[in-house]
Structure 1
Amino acid sequence: MAATGRELMARMEQLSPSALAVEKDRIGLQVGNPDAEVKGILLALDVTEAVVDEAIRLGTNWIIAHHAVLFRPLSDLRQDRPAGRLFAKLLKHDIQVYVAHTNLDSAPGGVNDVLADKLGLTNLRVMIPTHRETYKKVVVTIPKDHHEAVLQAMCEAGAGWIGNYSHCTFNLLGTGTFRPEEGTNPFIGTQGALERVEEVRLETIVPSRIQSRVVQALIDAHPYEEPAYDLYPLDLEGPKQGLGRIGRLEHPLSLGDFAGRVKEAYGLSHLRSVGNPDIAVTTVAVLGGSGGRYWQEAKRQGADVYITGDLDHHTALDAREAGLCLLDPGHHVEHWVLEPLKQLLVNSGEWEEKQIYVTSVNTNPFQFV
């Protein structure tokens, strides 16, 4: 059976949890039907009419975009105007639009990790922490013969991750007792008789945000009519998550040479630079999109240079006077996240590679002349 939009959105929620988005960010399903079958997926930075035409040509009916298609309030939907034409075309061709914005910026493996990795930065840390994962311990007892099925179902739903290790569980063999009373339909035993069953006690960890999904997977896979399980809150906190990354170069470079590395890594012909091109750069902060407001935080955390887009004149002056170098590669470099996002979706096993496309449309409105 083909996957539905709800399944696609659930996968995107795993990859870029909505809890990571900044307040009032416009994310999630913005156009279309959440129950629409996923016939194909087009990944794009922006949703323009050219991108929609590409989706129609490819036969894809879902667009996953980084920037919201509904961002500013609309005063009308006239089809003789650009916005009206765009939304009319989306609705006419039954194309759904799902947006992952600052949540994809902040998520592990998201925009800022991709941008930092392309520069070869090491010892990465989050620059603007906005969230820390909380965890629960889930404990369930399972008949021995069904233990493996329940374990796999829970871990596939997202339980059991510690760092880069999956399927982390503890299992202890024991004896469970129960007596089915009137009105029950027991998987094992008969009404009125005390049963003793060889069971496995399974313990694992689950992020609080997905506990309901893991519990449902447990219930669906468990053979008992009413499986017994416990959830315990843990003081353990996960790693910091949030906007921007700070890391180090393996070897110091001059600002001029490092600017050349940034241009090569991001496929740019030009970028804007603030600071003495001969100054040595070791510690680098990067934040995809418009991050000018955070330059002081980059400076406070020891960055020699801060890479972000859409810098204005006065921000550049203030940062230079404070001794922080700046590199502005533009906003559009965020598009480098699209190919890694495609691979994450393919690796989920729910969609074939031929069903997922990265847009070939260049939506960058700026050109160097």
Structure 2
Amino acid sequence: MKTANGHEIIQLFESWSPKKIACMENDPIGLAIGTLNKEVTKVLVTLDVNEEVADEAIEKGCQLIIAHHPPIFRKLSNLRTDTPAGKLYEKLIKNDIAVYAAHTNLDVAEGGVNDLLADALELVDREILEKTYHEYLMKLAVFVPDDYAKNVRLALAKAGAGHIGNYDSCSFSTNGQGRFRALEGADPFIGDIGEMETTDEEKIEVVFPQSIKNKVLKAMLNAHPYEEPAYDIYTLAVETNEMGLGRVGKLKQPMTLVEFAEHVKAALNVPCVRVVGDMNKKVSKVAVVGGDGNKYIHAAKRSGADVFVTGDMYFHVAQDAQSIGLNIVDPGHHVEKVMIKGVAEKMDQLCRNEKLSVQFMQSEIDTEPFRFI
């Protein structure tokens, strides 16, 4: 195992939950406080960052905090250390503790907040509730001497090109003849300077998501024997890597709404829930959005969900849900705390895979502001 710096840890995090999939305009994600340019041996994972969490990080010797809720949500007009927020920032900076925030990108990511909530609720046959992100497929067509075509195909497959559904290493080839003349200053792999050359070539075609374009091109260029390979690359009108907010799935067995409400309480470890709907009505299909899901009631209804689990439900939105026949179970915003264990375990595995010696610690501070009596 080797030591890691903050940049390496966050690169691994963003390989799983990249900033580009965030679905809120101007979402203040990324490094919020401090620097990643340092050795990091301990990371505290938390839902929120308050002064108690900062004290916890200091006590545990953490150099980095990964939080779901950004500690600086709006741009600062000043940084006064005689305010609660300013005092918090001062404490973190003085103790050289960096804070990285992953907000809606962590909501959208596979295995992120909404998948963790769906896991807790034991939902099966899951789908995305509201699609918020996709990539387009691209196609590369490259012309390679016959004897080197296999090497190039293998290099492209290793880079991730040609992955279609449950198949990988997919490609299509046609054979033909390539013609060229090397000019002064060239270092031709085949033929001589100033002479027309004709050679048997294979045209290899592969598709890949746009996010790995640079990786695919680098692999092709490294494997290709020519000094100046001939290739075409273009974007297809085909969407791939669809991701989004919320999840929809089925219960293993139907329940009445009141039974399901009790299930939510137990699964998400909350003392109470708010419920909208007929308590005796059977529910089997469930939509879930962590945090504030008020604007997704119609998406939940369109999905065919019998009940929508989300927090911060407004009075009039609850009435709207009732009018369209959508049951609601509101366990509060703080159920997003499932990300603490989920992120810590995911990052521990990612760092182990890279043989990085980093300890991910789960915050034990309860940041739920509400108390129930």
TM-score, length-scaled by structure 1: 0.81
Q: What residue is the counterpart of 2:24 in the other structure?
A: 22
Deviation by residue 1:12-43 (Cα, 9 ceiling, x = unmatched):
33322323422222212222335444444332
Structure 2 residue matching 1:47: 3-state secondary structure:
coil
Aligned ranges 1:257-276 → 2 under 5 Å? 257-276=259-278
What RMSD, in angstroms, separates the aligned Cα atoms of the two structures? 3.6
Partner residue in 2 for 1:115: 117
Q: Which residue of 1 aligns with 2:83?
A: 81
Matched, 1:208 2:210: yes
Match runs of 1:58-69 below 5 Å:
58-69=60-71
Distance 1:148 1:10, change over 3 A: farther
Supply the distance in 2 between the matched residues of 1:191 and 1:331 (Cα, whole angstroms): 71
1:347 matches 2:364: no
**Distance between the aligned counterparts of 1:262 and 1:13, measured in 2?**
30
CA contact (8 A) 1:305 1:327 kept: yes
Does residue 1:363 correspond to 2:364, yes or no? no
Separation in 1 of the partners of 2:342 and 2:165?
19
Distance 1:30 1:295, change over 3 A: same
| 1:150/1:222 contact within 8 Å kept | no
Partner secondary structure for residue 14 of structure 1: helix
Relative distance call for 1:178 and 1:99 in structure 2 (3 A) is farther
Q: How many residues align?
A: 364
Structure 2 SS opposite 1:127: strand
Aligned-residue offset at 1:311: 1.4
Deviation of the 1:359 alpha carbon: 2.2
* Residue 12 (structure 1) aligns with: 13
Give the C-alpha shift of residue 225 in structure 1. 6.2
Aligned with residue 315 of structure 2, among 313, 316, 321? 313
Structure number with greater Rg is: 2
Name the CA distance, whole Å, in 1 between partners of 2:343 and 2:162: 23
Alignment partners' CA distance in 2, 1:38 and 1:228: 45
Q: How much has 1:45 moved relative to structure 2?
A: 1.4
8 Å Cα contact 1:182/1:191 also seen in 2: no
Shift of 1:256: 0.9
Partner residue of 1:154? 159
Change in 2 beyond 3 A, CA 1:14/1:230 = farther
Distance 1:179 1:294, change over 3 A: same
Q: Report 1:1-369 matches (<5 A).
A: 2-17=3-18, 18-139=20-141, 143=148, 150-151=155-156, 154-155=159-160, 159=161, 161-163=163-165, 168-170=169-171, 183=185, 192=193, 204-216=206-218, 230-238=232-240, 240-345=242-347, 346-347=349-350, 349-350=353-354, 352=356, 354-369=358-373
State the one-letter code of the partner of 2:129.
M
CA distance in 2, matches of 1:190, 1:35: 50
Shift of residue 71 of structure 1? 0.5
Q: CA deviation at 1:105?
A: 1.1
Distance in 2 (alpha carbons) for counterparts of 1:353 and 1:258: 42
| 1:305 counterpart letter in structure 2 | V
Distance 1:338 1:178 in 2: 59
The code of the aligned residue for 2:361 comes to Y
* C-alpha deviation, 1:244, in angstroms: 1.5
CA shift, 1:288, in A, is: 0.5
Q: Which stretch of the first structure deviates more once superposed, 119-128 or 134-143?
A: 134-143
Q: Deviations over 1:95-153 (max 9, x none)?
A: 33222211221222221122122222223222222222212134557857965984576
**Separation (CA, whole Å) in 2 of partners of 1:67 and 1:176:** 57
Q: List per-residue Cα deviations over 1:326-346 (Å, max 9, x = no partner).
A: 111111111213333334332
Q: Structure 1 residue 62: deviation in Å?
A: 2.6
State which drifts further: 125-134 or 249-258: 125-134
* Counterparts in 2 of 1:219 and 1:40: CA distance versus 1, 3 Å: farther
Question: Is the partner of 1:125 in helix, strand or coil?
Answer: strand
Aligned partner of 2:283: which letter? V
| Shift, 1:363, TM fit | 1.9
Q: Deviations over 1:211-230 (max 9, x none)?
A: 23443465577787666654
| Letter in structure 1 aligned against 2:112 | G
| Higher mean C-alpha deviation, range 79-88 or range 56-65 | 56-65
Q: Distance between the aligned counterparts of 2:276 and 2:71, measured in 1?
A: 32
Summarize the Cα distance change of 1:26–1:82 in structure 2 as closer, same or farther, 3 Å threshold. same
Preserved CA contact (<8 Å) 1:20 1:242:
no
| Amino acid of the structure 2 residue aligned with 1:14 | S
Tell me which moved more, 264-273 or 34-43: 34-43
Q: Distance in 1 between matches of 2:201 and 2:361?
A: 46
In 1: Cα distance, 2:313 partner to 2:5 partner: 40
Worse overlay, 329-338 or 131-140: 131-140
Unaligned runs of 5+ in 2: none
What 5-or-longer segments of structure 1 have no aligned partner?
none
Change (3 A) 1:302 1:147: closer
Q: Secondary structure at the match of 2:159?
A: helix
Tell me, yes or no, if the aligned pair for 2:139 and 2:235 is still in contact at 8 Å.
Answer: yes
Q: Deviations over 1:35-62 (max 9, x none)?
A: 4444443322112223233333344323
